[in-house]
Amino acid sequence: MHELSLCQAIAGVVRPYAKDRHIDVVHVQIGALRQVVPESLSFCWSMVREHESMPEAELALEFVTAAVGCRECGRQSEITSRWSVSCPECGSADVEVLRGEEFLVTSLDVS
């Protein structure tokens, strides 16, 4: 379950910025190609936040769709499959991933 290590990484990013303030919400952007199970991430966060002295900190997840630019046909397209990264227009595997690999803490709500 890599979601546990992802939550530990989130806490590691948050901790220095929070200082002595109460953390209400941690906003995280997750790309579709990261293969994160939202329910598992939320469950793991509930354990990690207790250990990290952020017992009330919630995760606000923003999911980013995947898109590729095809070097074969020149088109940019969203992809819906997390298992195959190829051009949905021509089927070529010669693509550049334009988005969908994000895993970012984008902001914190503190009080």
Q: How confident is the model at residue 35 (pLDDT cuts 50, 70, 90)?
A: confident
CATH number for domain 1-110, candidates 3.40.1180.10, 3.30.457.10, 3.30.2320.80, 3.30.365.10: 3.30.2320.80
User: Any known ligand binding at 73?
Assistant: yes
The single residue listed with the structure tokens 């250990």 is 51
- pTM, whole model, 2 decimals? 0.85
Residue 53's pLDDT is: 87
Nearest C-alpha neighbor of 105 from the set 11, 18, 27, 5:
27
Backbone angles phi, psi at 62, to 5 degrees: -115, 120
User: Any known ligand binding at 87?
Assistant: yes
Q: Work out the number of other CB atoms within 10 angstroms of the CB of residue 12.
A: 12
Nearest C-alpha neighbor of 26 from the set 1, 63, 59, 66:
59
Q: How confident is the model at residue 104 (pLDDT cuts 50, 70, 90)?
A: very high
| Bridge-based pairing state of the strands 95-99 and 23-31 | unpaired
Q: How confident is the model at residue 1 (pLDDT cuts 50, 70, 90)?
A: low
Nearest C-alpha neighbor of 100 from the set 86, 82, 87:
82
User: Any known ligand binding at 90?
Assistant: yes
